[in-house]
């Protein structure tokens, strides 16, 4: 009986030590989120932003340990304005383990040509890959949500069909560039068109998504990030 108890105690000690060593060996990973109002989370608390929700979900699972995300994003930014924002920011010279990119809605909103956007987006995506140390599978691009379905758009009598067509054209360009460069492209547009008109899915301005929407985006990203080998 004594020997059995001793074996059980030793086994428990070994398991505890193994867990401790695993936690000591666990690398702290970094995440850079690039974008506009959708990435900075206009109108929501910091904890509700999709990059923050994503990191929280990843860390809760225990497999990874990410530091707080670095977010370079501002409401109203177009691709070129995001580029300028990146140049004005303190970028980690060692790079990042994960980079996400969601940009383009303001290019569409301002009526800029899709061809112009495509060229600018390709250049920006190459920079994002560089930030990920050249690891293309560590970069994820999100599609542009269709703001035309929101209560804001309805209140402004926006041409929903026109907005939808233009958003689709922009997303087609984004998907094409991602395909050519071997980058993961996550479609959040279709789902947003199903829910974006609901009052609980937008913040006070009736345009930008609520934390409920961002949680759906973070879940889509989570599925992809869990496939990455860090």
41-61 pLDDT, tens digit each:
999 999 999 999 999 999 999
* 11: in domain: no
* 168: in domain: yes
CATH number at residue 208: 3.40.50.1110
Q: How many domains does the chain have?
A: 1
**Low-confidence spans in the chain with pLDDT less than 70:** 1-26
Closest CA to 151 of 198, 110, 194: 198
Predicted TM-score (pTM) of the model is 0.88
Alpha helices in 61-202 (DSSP H): 79-87, 105-109, 114-131, 151-155, 160-181, 189-195
Q: Return the exposure string of 66-87: e unless at least 16 CB atoms fall within 10 Å of the residue's CB, then b.
A: beebbbbbeeebbbeebbebbe
Q: Which two tokens stand for residue 7?
A: 């074996």
What is the extent of the structural domain holding 73? 27-225
How much is the pLDDT for 84?
A: 98
How much is the pLDDT for 25?
A: 55
* 20: in domain: no
How much is the pLDDT for 23?
A: 45
* 10: in domain: no
* 113: in domain: yes
Q: Return the SS3 of 29.
A: strand
> Are the C-beta atoms of 65 and 26 separated by less than 8 Å?
yes
What's the first-to-final CA gap in the chain, in angstroms? 45
* 144: in domain: yes
């Amino acid at each position: 009986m004594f020997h059995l108890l001793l074996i059980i105690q030793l086994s428990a000690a070994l398991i505890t030590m193994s867990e401790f060593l695993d936690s000591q060996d666990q690398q702290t990973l970094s995440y850079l989120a690039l974008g506009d109002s959708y990435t900075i989370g206009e109108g929501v608390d910091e904890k509700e932003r999709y990059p923050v929700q994503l990191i929280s979900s990843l860390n809760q699972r225990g497999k990874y340990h990410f530091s707080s995300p670095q977010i370079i994003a501002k409401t109203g930014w177009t691709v070129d304005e995001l580029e300028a924002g990146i140049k004005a920011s303190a970028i980690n010279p060692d790079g990042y383990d994960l980079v996400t990119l969601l940009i383009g809605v303001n290019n569409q909103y301002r009526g800029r040509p899709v061809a112009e956007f495509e060229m600018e987006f390709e250049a920006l995506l190459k920079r994002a890959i560089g930030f990920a140390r050249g690891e293309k599978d560590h970069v994820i691009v999100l599609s542009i949500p269709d703001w035309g379905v929101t209560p804001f758009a309805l209140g402004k009598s926006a041409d929903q069909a026109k907005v939808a067509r233009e958003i689709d054209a922009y997303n087609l360009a984004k998907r094409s560039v991602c395909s050519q460069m071997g980058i993961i492209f996550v479609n959040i547009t279709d789902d947003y068109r199903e829910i974006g008109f609901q009052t609980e899915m937008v913040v006070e301005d009736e345009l930008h998504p609520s934390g409920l929407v961002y949680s759906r985006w973070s879940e889509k990203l989570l599925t992809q990030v869990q496939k990455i080998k860090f």
